[in-house]
Structures are given as C-alpha cells and as structure tokens.
Amino acid sequence: MVKEKKKADKKGEKFSHSPSSLFDYAELSKQNGSVARPDMSPNTVPPLEMQLSEPGSKRESKGESQKVEDVSGYEEPILTKLIVESYEGEKVRGLYEGEGFAIFQGGCTYRGMFSEGLMHGQGTYIWADGLKYEGEFVKNIPMNHGVYTWLDGSTYEGEVTNGLRNGFGMFKCSTQPVSYVGHWCHGKRHGKGSIYYNQEGTSWYEGDWVYNIKKGWGIRCYKSGNIYEGQWEDNGRHGEGRMRWLTTNEEYTGRWEQGIQNGFGTHTWFLKRIPNSQYPLRNEYIGSFVNGYRHGHGKFYYASGATYEGEWVSNKKHGMGRLTFKNGRVYDGLFVDDHIVEFSNLDAEPTGYPDLPSDPALRSQGPASSTSAEIIRKLDGSESNPVLGSNIELDLGLLLSMYPEKDQPEEKKQVEYAVLRNITELRRIYSFYSSLGCDRSLDNTFLMTKLHFWRFLKDCKFHHHKITLADMDRVLSANMNIPVEEIHSPFTTILLRTFLNYLLQLAYHIHHKEYQHRSPSLFLCFTKLMAENIHPNACRVKGNFFNGQQQALYLMNYVDKCWEIYTAYCRPNPAPPHELTMKTRHFLWMLKVSFWFT
C-alpha cells in the first residue's frame, strides 16, 4: 500500500503547474467597440458648398479603463500527497479495488472507483477548500472528461488531460457574467472558441485564441451592437479587418494596428434615405490612414457626387489635390490645412482660369472673402440656377456645339424642360435598374453600373435602331471622355446626372438625322426616345441574368471572374479607339479551347 501512495504522489506532481488566470476582464470595460474621435462628432458630414471638411476617423480611446479581475482561483489544483486517513470499500490483496470512499490527510475526500490502490474510473474528488472535480480518473490523475466546480459556483465541463483543461470545454464564471465555450490547451484558451461577456449574449468574441490571447481571425460583437470582424494580435484589432459602428452608421474596412486604423482602408458613412433619393452615393473615404487619421494619399466621395482626391495630413486636405464638384467642374491645385491656397492677387481677373475656386468657409475672413465666395459659387454651380438643379446639371456642351450658335440657348432650354417633365420617371427607372442583383442597402441607396445600364438599354430596345451595345459604348466614350480601358467595363459607376447625359447622347445619335431640319431638334430626339423606347419598356426586365433576385445575387458573385476571363481572351478592335473587345466567333473559340482542357 505504501508503494501505491508513493506512486500517487508522483502522479500528482505531474500536473502541479497551475495555469495562469483564466480570464482578463479588460473586455468588460469595452462593451461598445467605439473608438473616440479626436476632434468632432464622427457622423457629421457638412455640405460640400459650406465647408470642405469630412467626418473624422475613429480612434480607439486610450482612456478606457483596463479592469482586470483576479480570477486566479479558477485554476485546476494539484492533488496533494495522497495519504489516506480512512477508507471505506473493498480491497483485493490489500489494495483498494472497486467502489470506495477515502478521506485523505488534510481533509480532501474521494468517492468513486479504485483499481490496484489508485483512483481509476469515475469518481468525485473534493479538496479541503471545497473545490470539486467530478469525472474520470486514470491512475490518480483527472483525465478525459470531467467537471470542475469552484466554491463560488463557477464551473468547467469538458475534456481534461493530466488534470488540466485540454480539448473542448465550457467555463462559466458565477461572479461575472462571463462564459467561454471552445478549445483549451494546457489549461488555457487555445484554438477556436467563443467568449461571452454578459448574460444577454450581446457582447462576445468568437474566433482564434493562442494561450489566452486573441490572435488570428475573429469576430467581436460589442454590447452596443458595433461589430469587428478580422485579424487580431495580442488581444487587439491588428491586420486586415472590418469594423461596423451600427450606433453611428459607419464602417471601416482595411488595415489595423494595435486597435487603430493604420494603412490602406475604406471608411464609409451611411445615411438612411427615403427611396429614390437624389443622392445615390454615400460619404466614403478610400486611402491611407495613420493612427486613425486620414493621412497620405486618398480619395473622398461625397454623397452629392463631389469628390476630392489628393494628399491628406491629420484628416485635413493638405498638399496637391483635385476637387471635383457635384456638377462636374474641377479644381486642381494646392491645399493647405484644409484650405484652398489663396490667390496672390484676388482683385485681378485670373487669366485663363475664370472659374478657379476658393473655400470661403475655411478661409480667413478679410476683404477678399466676398470674391472667394463668388469664385467657389461659380465652380460648384450654386450661383447659377439650372432647371434640374446643380446636383444633376446636364453636360450639353458637346451636343449644343452641333447646332448654330444662335439656336443653342433655345435648344438647351427646351431639352432641359423635356428632361424635367420626365425626371420623376427617370429617377424611378434609375433606382430600379441600379438595385438589380444587389442585396439590401444599409442606407437605402444603390449606384448604377454599366452592367445595369446595358440591361436598361436592352430592355428598352435601343439596339433595334441598328446600333449594338458595343457601338453605344463607343459613342458615349467619344462624347464623354471615357478612358479606353473602361469603355466596356461592367464595373463603371453611373450617377443619375451621367445617366441623363447618356440618354441625351444616344437620343441625338439615333434620331438627329430625322430632326436635323426641325427645331428644337435635341428636344424632339429625346422626346421620341422617351415615347417609343423608354416609357413602354423600362423596368420590364428580360434575359436570364437578372431574372429573379436570388439568382441575380448568386450570379453576381462570378462577375469578377468572368471579367478576368473576358479580358484574357478579348482582342484590340481594329477601328478607333482600338479598345479590347470580343466578337461572337472569339467567344465560341474560347469555349472550344476550354472544352479541350476539360
């Protein structure tokens, strides 16, 4: 019997090294996942005309308390030297065998199965301080599967190896609303697992662990509903990831370092809009971040359609940049501290650049302020009063140049009135086609692409006028200065004002010969196109691609790959502008080649 006791002592020493504390509760003080903005309200996007500044990036607050609870009691204790004071049960050749009850020196007890004098099989071991293990023993060591119950009611149930949590198991803390379900290694969270920080289950982390540290890929949902999905390092957001602030309708996708946006990324501000909103875009920044700020090169898209592309320093436009207003007018130049650089002589008429802008909302007040305001009003269209509004001002310059100068004002006025009479219907058509193949939008807006536009042209039978879709692309590229590589790209985005300009360009191309001796010619071309093609056929989707919402969503997953294959097999068009294209015989040859390899 003494030999068995010594063996038991040695077995107990094999798991004498206790693991570190199970939980650090720093997460309990970060329930919303929000990160403090250094300067102003994070969801404020001022009008471009009033102030050319954007909402700030999200930064993780360094002032959050790092509360760490002492949970060192939630560890697997060792079995102390097993000196039996009393035993009730069977013996075989003087050794404990079968079911029995033993009281050990120090007050620990065991009730369960014995074999050859050792605890072996199912049993319950209770330490003197009240901690209890119920489960399987193998030669005095807790093994395989068991349940630990601490004195305060906290429990662990799962796999056990050499007395330590190892494998899959679940821990529930009774003093804090914390529980963990997942894999363990040597008593620590390791592998895949989920931790819940409140009883409601609204604050949790699910993902990879490396010895109690969040490391790898995981999802963190905060109590507020804000959620992060991506890579982790040393318990912080680090690497590629996406954060969605549902409380402020914002989203960031890109690089993170130590919990802060750092590197290339996209920050989007969503704004709930009514259906058929006049602004199909959302406020979005795509570019470089440093320590949570827009810093380096980046492009900011405004919901109105205006854009700024250039250099940034600490969330401000600083350096060379291009500012494109919502009406399409452009300013290229230097920005300093979010300001357009002042002219050397504002009283003089700028030679060659009559529409050079300034930014009155951001400039210092002085005698030149009124001049600056007048210049920027010219650029953004706010000083003029186009029939359709400055946000969808029609670009009629090229079309009007086809008419005698004396007729141009009347042509412009009449075609603008024609578009105005149909603007409600055209908005509805734009919204309908831009939503095809798209899942629900967080801010109730959709942006038309060339793929949607092609479907619209086919549905409205534009190609029945002896002009193919490829020819229409070429007409628009010649008239709208579209880059050669984007002439047939299905991903090219189309704003409402661009959509209207495209219709006018195609109306003129199709019908101008018929009405070349009548006035107003452009008005007649457009109204005939509306009456014969658009009104009777729009929003009646034909073909197979967009036939059904779920099918379209499924097929859209393959658009990128199909475009990659298309560009690999298409050839330069022999006629100008020599863009890459594919004819039917090339398509059939491609299929034949593919079948050969399969």
Question: 267 to each of 39, 73, 301, 453, how far by Cα in Å?
Answer: 17, 44, 10, 27
Whole-number pLDDT of residue 41: 32
Below-50 pLDDT ranges, the chain: 1-31, 33-73, 343-373, 375-376, 382-383, 390
Beta bridge partners of 191: 209
- Mean pLDDT, the chain, rounded, equals 78
For 36-50, give the DSSP string.
--SSS-TT----TTT
Whole-number pLDDT of residue 280: 60
Q: Record the tokens describing residue 439, joined without a space.
A: 């899942």
Q: Record the tokens describing residue 384, joined without a space.
A: 């003029």
Whole-number pLDDT of residue 307: 87
Q: What is the DSSP letter of 516?
A: T
Pairing of strands 339-340, 260-269: unpaired
Distance CA 299, CA 284 (A): 8
- Nearest CA-CA partner of 176 in 21, 35, 17, 64: 21
Residues with Cβ within 8 Å of 421's Cβ and at least 6 positions away in sequence, in order, are none
SS3 of residue 216 by DSSP: strand
Distance CA 433, CA 236 (A): 42
Question: 548 to each of 265, 415, 448, 461, 541, how far by Cα in Å?
Answer: 33, 36, 18, 21, 10
SS3 of residue 160 by DSSP: strand
Report, in angstroms and rounded to the nearest whole number, the Rg of the chain calculated over CA atoms: 35
Question: 403 to each of 46, 396, 444, 521, how far by Cα in Å?
Answer: 41, 11, 41, 9
Residues with Cβ within 8 Å of 478's Cβ and at least 6 positions away in sequence, in order, are 577
Question: 483 to each of 398, 486, 487, 577, how far by Cα in Å?
Answer: 17, 5, 6, 10
Q: Record the tokens describing residue 381, joined without a space.
A: 């269209």
Q: Record the tokens describing residue 210, joined without a space.
A: 């490396």
Contact (Cβ atoms closer than 8 angstroms) between residue 586 and residue 570? yes
Name the fold adopted by 159-340.
Answer: 2.20.110
Judge if the upstream peptide bond of residue 520 is cis by omega within 30 degrees of 0: yes
Domain 80-149 architecture:
Single Sheet (2.20)
Whole-number pLDDT of residue 328: 66
Every domain of the chain and the residues it spans: 80-149, 159-340, 396-595
Q: Record the tokens describing residue 401, joined without a space.
A: 């140049």
Pairing of strands 213-221, 227-233: antiparallel
Sort residue 10 into left (φ over 0), alpha (ψ -120 to 50) or beta.
Answer: alpha
For 408-448, give the DSSP string.
HHHHHHHHHHHHHHTHHHHHHHHHHHHTTT----TTS---E
Sort residue 287 into left (φ over 0), alpha (ψ -120 to 50) or beta.
Answer: left
Whole-number pLDDT of residue 306: 82
Whole-number pLDDT of residue 435: 86
Interval 136-194: pLDDT, tens = 999 889 999 999 999 989 999 999 998 899 999 999 998 888 999 999 999 999 999 99
Overall residue count recorded for the chain in this entry = 598
Q: How many of the other CB atoms lie within 10 Å of CB of 384? A: 11
Q: How many of the other CB atoms lie within 10 Å of CB of 16? A: 11
**Is it true that 80-149 and 159-340 share their CATH fold?**
yes
Q: What is the DSSP letter of 407?
A: G
Q: Where are the alpha helices (DSSP H) in 352-396?
A: 369-380
Beta bridge partners of 498: none
Beta bridge partners of 124: 111, 134
Beta bridge partners of 245: 250
Interval 307-349: pLDDT, tens = 899 999 999 999 999 888 776 677 888 888 888 875 433 333 3
